[in-house]
Amino acid sequence: MSLSKQFKKLAVSCLIHNARVFSTSGCRLSNTLLHRTVNRHRQIKGGAADYQDNEEDASDDTGVRGVDLHIQMDGKPKPQKEVDTFKEKYPDFLPRTDRACRRDYVLEMLHRRDMFRRRQNLSIPEFYVGSIVSVTVTDPYSPTKENRFVGICIQRQFSGLSHTFTLRNIIYGQGIEIKYDLYNPNILKIECLKTEKRLDPELLYLRDCPPEFSTFPLDMEKVPAPKGKDVPINDVKIPLNKPPWLERWERRKDLKGITGNDRRLTYRQKKRAVLSEKPWLENDIMLEYRRSLRDDEVQHIKGVVEKFLEREQRRKEEAEKEMAEES
């Protein structure tokens, strides 16, 4: 047998072996897997998240000892409304979904502990995209050594200690945007002046909208949020300026909070818009699976965060009682 025939035979055998391995192990890179293969792969990957937190490793001075408990993924259905509310309220505690194949659960637990330690020294309020927030940071070049900025939150990105949020405001006719790290030690105070939501998860289109929709006074007073009610949703529809725009808003059919993006396109622009569309992504179940989190895992993180918040609330109440008794 010649060398070329041996090489072809070896290549064919390798392809057959790889096909058998991929079909039996539930490879995540294939987009043609059946639902039963996806469910089987979830059961296999779910076992990797079962770990026991070592309480002895946590220091006593942090106050977060024993907060992270054992993850139990029982697969039982959880209330979807509670899960969705937690995702909107605390997106910084959710793990990254773009690295689902390379997640490190122990590292996520350690990051969560550092976030708890930071929250003990900094009160982070509840705010969403569309809320008006004020941030006070240290500034060595300021006469008061502090700098305060007020703006509307137009974007929240990333997760864990790398979580960021962007504020936008119009000052003296100039649009200013500042991106803050939520757990930056230079932040002295974060205050939510007006708590509300918008129709879209991001408000980047405010850059191409009239300035009155992004203008807020720097000395704005806090608007009390309604107690015992859901966060109000501001359903205002903002008109866009005349093109040119910074982005192709006419191609974004999923945006609900803007008007004027349905302008007439030329033949060349329509051709480019058709080429940029990706309709096959709507039916890509593996892509949706890789970018999503299991509800029981989110429920576990929700329980851990709630335990920490309850402990912090009790600690603050005890400190207030001690101060009242001393006075």
Residue range 90-111: mean pLDDT, rounded:
84
pLDDT at 4: 59
First to last CA, the chain: 98
Most confident option among 49-53, 153-157, 283-287: 153-157
Q: Is the pLDDT of residue 115 over 50?
A: yes
pLDDT at 282: 79
Q: Is the pLDDT of residue 150 over 90?
A: yes
Q: Is the pLDDT of residue 68 over 60?
A: no
User: Which has more confidence, 11 or 81?
Assistant: 81
pLDDT at 162: 92
Residue range 146-155: mean pLDDT, rounded:
95
Q: Is the pLDDT of residue 29 over 80?
A: no
Query: What's the CA angle centered on 94, arms 91 and 100, to 5 degrees?
Result: 135
pLDDT at 84: 83
Confidence of residue 100 (pLDDT cuts 50, 70, 90): low
Q: Rounded CA gap, 132 and 198, in Å?
A: 12
pLDDT at 73: 43
pLDDT at 6: 53
CB 94 within 8 A of CB 159: yes
Confidence of residue 5 (pLDDT cuts 50, 70, 90): low
pLDDT at 54: 38
Q: Read out DSSP for 183-249?
A: T-TTEEEEEEEE--B-SSS--GGGGGS-GGGS---TTPPPPPPPTTSPPPB----EEPPSSP-SS-G
Between the CA of residue 178 and those of 135, 169, 181, 189, what are the distances in Å?
10, 9, 10, 15
